[in-house]
Homo-oligomer: A and B are copies of this chain.
Amino acid sequence: MNREQGRDILKRLNMKVTPKRLEVMCCLGSEPLYLSADEVWHRIKDRVDSIGLPTVYRILDELAEAGVITRIFLADRKQYYFLCANQDHHHHHFVCESCRRVEDLGQCALGEGTLDAVQRSGGRVTSHILQINGVCATCSTPRGGAACRTK
């Protein structure tokens, strides 16, 4: 994700194209890893002639609401974010618990019938979360694991 792409995304969403937003997007988009708001902040606060943590929170929240970035849910009660390079079609992700890497799952793996069933019953579906957790191929390999694992 470069500034050009970030700019296009913000334009499409009718959001102002600000240096801070671009910086947050480029930060998240530079690697296929999930990060917390705090981690994003630490990585960019010295560029962009400094940015406040509350601003990072706001930007992440807006982008997540808009569907540009994906919230990653872990048991640690913190919120993480991931900016997927593939913004084209609806799909979900595999999340490596060891190295934080996020991989695309080809297409939305929700069985056809599922959303229909809810709707037939009279309810309305507004969104869904599908996240596969595990250990990626690299981390599963004894050698590769050590190289890939960050912490």
Shortest A136–chain B CB gap in Å is 5
Given contacts A111-B110, A133-B125, contact A71 B65 (CB under 8 A): no
Contacting pair B123 A141 (CB below 8 A): no
Asked if A121 is an interface residue, CB under 8 A from chain B, the answer is yes
Give the distance in Å from the alpha carbon of A127 to the alpha carbon of B117 in the complex. 24
Question: Known contacts A124-B134, A125-B133, A129-B133; can you find 7 more A-B pairs with CB under 8 A?
Answer: A73-B129, A96-B123, A106-B117, A111-B111, A125-B132, A128-B133, A129-B129
Give the distance in Å from the alpha carbon of A103 to the alpha carbon of B122 in the complex. 13
Within 8 A of B (CB), among A78-133: 79, 94, 96-97, 103, 105-106, 109-111, 113-115, 117-118, 121-133
Give the distance in Å from the alpha carbon of A106 to the alpha carbon of B124 in the complex. 17
Asked if A1 is an interface residue, CB under 8 A from chain B, the answer is no
Asked if A135 is an interface residue, CB under 8 A from chain B, the answer is yes
Q: Which of A124, A135, A140 has the most CB of B within 10 A?
A: A124
Give the distance in Å from the alpha carbon of A109 to the alpha carbon of B130 in the complex. 10
